[in-house]
């Protein structure tokens, strides 16, 4: 389906059909993220709010209304693994706020497998992927619309946990919520035998955006520096030709295995990626670089994360770009920071 998303996305934007959930002529609720990934746009698309009352923080702040009816979350909890980790943290706060109300998540049909697997691991509530008929949602349900939330203006101006608290109508967040502590309760598979008792540095240089993905040269440089500083082998999920590095991608084929590696690491070195949010949940010391957004908006509640602010004016606030000049600017920012010396986080004792 190469080419469909860009074409359809422009069409939806021109018709004012971005920023919230949609409904088609057949009465099915769907998401902009999904419809642009189909060969043809559904007929009769219009904003869901035109025919059904929704709670949408993009339009107005709200608190979950009183009642015993179920809570349905459209686009819960997004289409990026890091967003889903944080969103599920705040979802637990919502469930504590309304413990007798069942919650149903309606993720995107085309949500990446990593996100779908995380929802299965969390087992926080019932999951029904979109699209679905609007008539299948009970009349007494509270319908929270998170459609297209990554493009809401305040997604780039609020700390992530505060954003989700606003989006879900949650009043207050505990410290454990802000560091994704729910991850520590997951049952995860063991590591391969050779690494179960051996300390290692975990390296995560990739992300969903070229602006946040480290080039091969930067990857090699950081592996060299990390292995020298810590005196430990460096593990990761991509091939890097360094004698102190080991690629363990074949043992990280799903989200549960990915989380197992993060949980076992003595320290994480990462770009701005889902690995940073997972490491906070397991209290793993982390060095993370942020080229496009203020670190406080991503890691304010992560006490063991040492954040590098690598932003330049041309990059600040961008979610995605493949523009070579901007990618080069992000790489230069990393290079200059590496040359100046990195503030490597200390590795505490295991019982610390």
Q: Is residue 14 part of a domain?
A: no
Give the residue numbers spanning the domain of 61: 57-178
Judge whether 308 lies within some domain.
yes
Per-residue pLDDT tens over the stretch 288-313:
999 999 999 999 999 999 999 999 99
Are residues 173 and 198 part of one domain?
Answer: no
pLDDT over 70 at 5, yes or no: no
Of 349, 183, 191, the C-alpha closest to 266 is 349
Alpha-helical regions (H) of 265-323: 274-281, 296-299
Task: Provide the 3-class DSSP secondary structure of residue 217.
Answer: helix
| Domain total of the chain | 2
**Do both 242 and 301 map to the same domain?**
yes
Residues 281 and 313 in one domain: yes
Q: For 273-287, what is each residue's pLDDT tens digit? A: 999 999 999 999 999
Which tokens belong to 91? 């979802």
- The yes-or-no verdict on residue 8 having pLDDT over 70 is no
Do 198 and 328 belong to one domain? yes
Residue whose tokens read 């986080």: 345
pLDDT for 319:
75
Do 234 and 312 belong to one domain?
Answer: yes
Domain membership flag for residue 24: no
Are both 68 and 198 inside the same structural domain?
Answer: no
Cα separation values, 344 from 33, 199, 203, Å: 38, 16, 13
CA nearest to 265, candidates 198, 344, 213, 219:
198
Return all residues near 293 (Cβ < 8 A) that are at least 6 apart.
156, 272, 311, 316, 317
pTM (2 d.p.): 0.94
Res. 169: pLDDT tops 80: yes
pLDDT at 7: 53
The answer as to whether 150 is a domain residue is yes
Instruction: Decide if 148 is inside a domain.
Output: yes
Q: Give the mean model confidence (pLDDT) for residues 265-275.
A: 97
113, 154: one domain: yes
Residues in Cβ contact with 170 at an 8 Å cutoff, skipping those fewer than 6 apart: 64, 90, 93, 94, 97, 164
Q: What is the pLDDT of residue 171?
A: 86
């Amino acid at each position: 389906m190469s080419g469909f998303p860009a074409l359809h996305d422009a069409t939806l934007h021109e018709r004012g059909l971005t920023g919230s959930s949609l409904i088609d002529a057949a009465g099915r609720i769907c998401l902009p993220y999904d419809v642009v990934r189909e060969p043809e746009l559904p007929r009769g698309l219009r904003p869901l709010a035109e025919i059904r009352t929704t709670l949408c923080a993009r339009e107005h702040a709200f608190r979950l209304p009183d009642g015993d009816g179920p809570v349905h979350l459209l686009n819960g909890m997004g289409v990026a693994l890091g967003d889903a980790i944080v969103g599920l943290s705040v979802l637990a706060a919502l469930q504590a706020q309304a413990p007798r109300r069942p919650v149903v998540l309606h993720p995107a049909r085309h949500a990446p497998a990593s996100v779908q697997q995380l929802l299965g691991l969390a087992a926080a509530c019932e999951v029904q992927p979109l699209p679905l008929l609007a008539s299948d949602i009970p009349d007494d349900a509270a319908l929270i619309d998170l459609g297209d939330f990554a493009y809401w203006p305040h997604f780039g101006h609020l700390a992530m946990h505060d954003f989700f608290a606003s989006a879900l109508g949650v009043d207050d967040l505990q410290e454990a919520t802000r560091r994704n502590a729910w991850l520590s309760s997951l049952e995860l598979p063991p590591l391969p035998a050779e690494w179960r008792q051996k300390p290692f540095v975990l390296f995560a240089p990739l992300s969903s955006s070229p602006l946040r993905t480290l080039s091969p040269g930067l990857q090699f440089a950081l592996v060299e520096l990390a292995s020298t500083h810590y005196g430990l082998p460096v593990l990761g999920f991509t091939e890097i030709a360094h004698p102190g590095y080991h690629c363990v991608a074949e043992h990280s084929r799903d989200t549960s295995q990915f989380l197992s590696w993060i949980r076992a690491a003595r320290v994480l070195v990462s770009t701005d990626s889902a690995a940073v949010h997972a490491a906070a949940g397991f209290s793993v010391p982390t060095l993370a670089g942020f080229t496009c957004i203020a670190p406080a908006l991503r890691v304010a509640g992560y006490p063991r994360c040492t954040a590098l602010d690598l932003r330049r004016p041309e990059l600040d606030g961008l979610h995605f770009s493949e523009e070579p000049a901007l990618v080069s600017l992000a790489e230069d920012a990393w290079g200059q920071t590496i040359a100046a010396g990195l503030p490597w986080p200390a590795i505490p004792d295991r019982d610390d």
